[in-house]
Amino acid sequence: MSKRKIFLIIAAFILTSIITSLGTVAVLAAWPFDDVLPGDWFYNDVHWMDSNGITHGCDATHYCPDDYVTRAEMAAFLHRMAGVQVAAGAHYKRDAADTLYVDKWFNNVNGVAPTIVGGGTFYDINVGFATTDRFVMCAVDTAKADTRDALCTVSTPEGNTVRVRIYDASVGGFAPAEFWVMVYGQ
């Protein structure tokens, strides 16, 4: 290989490295919180809540993700959260045969009722519209005594689907429960 080709390859590599570094610096410079990094499991949630005006940092450059929340801070957080458009929500209950069904629901996007697709250790719920770039939350209905130690996890695997899993610490694994699912975003 000629010296010129080697020089061009090295120059291209250095230029690419500089552009990539500048792009990373520009992205990090736009993000205000030094203590919430793109690799953190909660980064996307904090980023979404910050960009929608729901949450703020504890100061200009810190989010303080490990600090306790005061009642006043929670009241301000809930007040800001109420201003975000709720796209859809549903309450899921169990009948006498322990079959999950939609008890109450609303859909501000297109009025389509959610459907349950699957079961077992997780429930795939089709909400009838794309869940991309939306914030999804779930909560276990603790009205039943046997679900007081349960927690709900949610993900949006693809398209119109929200995947819900219920983990019950009292039984040491995934278990059926009654729960709510809320989808936020415009």
Strands across the sheet with 135-140, in order?
A: 100-107, 86-94, 179-184, 135-140
d(Cα 121, Cα 83) in Å, to the nearest integer?
Answer: 34
CA angle 160, 51, 159 (to 5 degrees): 10
d(Cα 133, Cα 116) in Å, to the nearest integer?
Answer: 21
92 by Cβ neighbours in 10 Å (0-12 / 13-18 / 19+) ranks as: buried
Higher per-residue confidence, 105 vs 157:
105
**CA separation (Å) from 42 to 19, 87, 111?**
28, 22, 31
Residue 110 in this model has a pLDDT that exceeds 80: yes
What are the phi and psi torsion angles at 119 (to 5°)? -175, -160
164 and 125 in contact (C-beta within 8 Å)? yes
Residues facing 137 on adjacent strands = 182
Q: Which residues contact 121 (CB under 8 A, 6 or more apart)?
A: 165, 174
What would the mean pLDDT of 114-142 be, rounded to a whole number? Answer: 82
Amino acid 120: pLDDT: 65
What would the mean pLDDT of 166-172 be, rounded to a whole number? Answer: 73
For the whole model, what pTM was predicted?
0.54
169 and 117 in contact (C-beta within 8 Å)? no
Residue 7 in this model has a pLDDT that exceeds 50: no
